[in-house]
Amino acid sequence: MSDSSTSKTDFIREIIAADLAAGKHETTITRFPPEPNGYLHIGHAKAICLNFGIALENAASGARCHLRFDDTNPEKEEVEYVESIKEDVAWLGFQWGDGLYYASDYFEFFHDCAVDLIRKGLAYVDEQSSEEIKATRGNLVQPGVESPYRNRSVEENLELFAKMRAGGFPEGKAVLRAKIDMASPNVVMRDPVIYRVLHSTHHNTGDAWCIYPMYDFAHPLEDAKEHITHSLCTLEFEIHRPFYDWVIENCPVPAKPRQIEFARLNLTYTVMSKRKLLQLVKEGHVAGWDDPRMPTLSGLRRRGVPAAAIRNFCERIGITKFNGVTDVALLEFEIRDWLNREAPRRMAVLDPVKLVLTNYEEDRSEEVEVPNNPEKPETGARRVALSRELWIEREDFMEDPPKKFFRLFPGGHVRLRGGYIIRCTGVEKDAEGRVEKILCEYLPDTIGKDAPEGVVCKAAIHWVSARHGRKAAVRLYDRLFSEPNPDAAEGGFLSVIHSDSLKEVEAWVEPALAEMEPEDFCQFERIGYFVADRRDHRKGGPLVFNRTVALRDSWSKK
Ligand code: ATP
Ligand code: MG
């Protein structure tokens, strides 16, 4: 990928380089292991860029990154999520090749490992209720209490576990627990549950199983099965690491992966928990998982955020061991930075008022040249039709302007972008006194030339020819929450949903915008960056544009 550099470094990359240098592994194998119970979000992008990035950087030694669906919980997982995750990882720019795995393909292996633990006297079937198990776990200052079922014989445990598998227990009546240490200072090590009964249909294995492994037991086994060398996860798993290592130590595994933790991404003005994102969708606070205000990858994509800007953002924030909150303005900076270089410029008027060039003949029109992107002169210019009646932004005219107002006002001059200098001669108003028409005269022979002697013209405004322009629906998206930390809001995150996070306006746009395909992006000159909506826009019409981000950050002033 063009934007990936080889100079990236952080504590994880240092460990990986040292392991390779020491000959600990022949190559590096990482994985990105989403649970298919929701859509991927910008936090997942951090983990994707890390895992797939490391594989790309170490490609010379044969490194790779697996995409593994951690689908061991039949209750919340759906095929819709599996498909969306694949689409989003590919869109972000990463390839898993033939490294596509499903943890549910290892159910037999997990089961064999559990039987092996029982045989070694390291696991037992507990028939206490989940409440009893919870109540006897102890806490940070008190040790746990051993289960009355803890010292069953190996034979009895084998028999009972077989009965669990065969459907002989209703849910909640039996679990398999690792037999470790109820007095361990680490609560995670106090005989954690490793299997439970769930009479649910699984999206991949159907009704073949009615016992399912717990995450902490399954995850190290998945990693080992795939010969993962470095299993990178977020900091909250740090206290689970001793159990990860215990599973690897005590089960018949083909490899010994190493877990390393890093800080998860949190963003201001954003909720990242899948549960909360699901709630926003289910309760209709947004229009779906890909609503352009969502922090999901599909939402960001529909908003017009380039995948490259997300990769650049992930590179900029780096990888550390310290939990913190990143300012969403940093993401917006990366989006503007990329789009400023790449987006073609187009003209659109979002709050139109009519302007009439009274000295321009009724049936005349001409084409003027407007540069496509001053940041990229090689993209040249396009020809845009100009005529007697134009649309301009209402805010570009003031009847009674303050001193430093350099746009249109009675008696003042301004340049039409790419066109003539014009002079305002008067206005027409409607019954309520609102300006309905701005009357101007154009100064012939001023296209591409300096203002004539005695004419002060300090600004250029964008415009759309009324005769040639097209109507478009423009959706002005803003941040979804009005508070920097919605999770901490007194009334809950729903209470700080930003009421103005979507405004839809009817705009006039230059004809070139009718040629855009869904997902084509551009800058509306002087306004912001926009993308043709991937669901609702069609080349030729209807024309529907989403605002990705305004030209400037309007929040930092507040
Ligand atoms: P939940 O706990 O809400 O189900 P999760 O964040 O654990 O969500 P997974 O699908 O299990 O979701 O995540 C897949 C991978 O993405 C994990 O390795 C996880 O550590 C990583 N990940 C998830 N959220 C973030 C985040 N905010 N920042 C960095 N990595 C993340
Ligand atoms: Mg998870």
Domain parsing of the chain, residue ranges = 107-213, 264-342+469-558, 347-465
How many angstroms separate the CA atoms of 553 and 91, rounded? 27
Q: What atom of ligand 1 comes closest to residue 275's alpha carbon?
A: 3
Residue 449 alpha carbon to ligand 2 centre in Å: 62
Domain 264-342+469-558 has CATH 1.10.1160.10: yes
CA dihedral 485, 487, 492, 496 (to 10 degrees): 30
Residue 125 alpha carbon to ligand 2 centre in Å: 26
Distance of CA 488 to the CA centre of its chain: 21
**107-213, which class in CATH?**
alpha beta
Going by CA atoms, what residue is nearest to atom 9 of ligand 1?
34
Of all ligands present, the nearest one to the C-alpha of 326 is: 1
pLDDT, position 2 = 43
One digit per residue, the tens of pLDDT, for the chain of length 558 reads 444 445 689 999 999 999 999 999 999 999 999 999 999 999 999 999 999 999 999 999 999 999 999 999 998 878 899 999 999 999 999 999 999 999 999 999 999 999 999 999 999 999 999 999 999 999 999 999 999 999 999 999 999 999 999 999 999 999 999 999 999 999 999 999 999 999 999 999 999 999 999 999 999 999 999 999 999 999 999 999 999 999 999 999 999 999 999 999 999 999 999 999 999 999 999 999 999 999 999 999 999 999 999 999 999 999 999 999 999 999 999 999 999 999 999 999 999 999 999 999 999 999 999 999 999 999 999 999 999 999 999 999 999 999 999 999 999 999 999 999 999 999 999 999 999 999 999 999 999 999 999 999 999 999 999 999 999 999 999 999 999 999 999 999 999 999 999 999 999 999 999 999 999 999 999 999 999 999 999 999 999 999 999 998 766 644
Residue 398 alpha carbon to ligand 2 centre in Å: 56
Q: Which pair of tokens denotes residue 26?
A: 């022949």
Q: Which of 44, 92, 310, 487 to mutate to test the pocket of ligand 1 (most atoms within 8 A of CB)?
A: 44
Residue 495 alpha carbon to ligand 1 centre in Å: 25
CB-CB contact of 456 with 413 (8 Å) = yes
Residue 270 alpha carbon to ligand 2 centre in Å: 19
Going by CA atoms, what residue is nearest to atom 26 of ligand 1?
43
Q: What atom of ligand 1 comes closest to residue 33's alpha carbon?
A: 14
pLDDT, position 215 = 97
As for ligand 1, residues whose beta carbon falls within 6 Å of it are 33-35, 37, 43-44, 46-47, 70, 233-234, 264-265, 272-274
Per-residue DSSP letters for 416-450? ETTS-EEEEEEEEE-TTS-EEEEEEEEETT-TTSP
Of all ligands present, the nearest one to the C-alpha of 233 is: 1
Going by CA atoms, what residue is nearest to atom 16 of ligand 1?
44
Sequence-ordered list of residues with C-beta below 8 angstroms from that of 225, at least 6 positions apart, any chain: 106, 109, 253, 254
Provide the annotated active-site residues.
35, 264, 274
pLDDT, position 4 = 46
Q: At what angle do helices 79-92 and 307-317 cross, to 10 degrees?
A: 80
Of all ligands present, the nearest one to the C-alpha of 43 is: 1
Q: What is the largest CA-CA distance in the chain?
A: 104
Domain covering 347-465: architecture:
Beta Barrel (2.40)
Going by CA atoms, what residue is nearest to atom 15 of ligand 1?
34
pLDDT, position 3 = 47
Listed in order, strand segments (DSSP E) in 238-374 are: 258-262, 345-346, 348-349, 352-357, 365-371
For residue 278, which phi and psi values (nearest 5 degrees)?
-60, -40
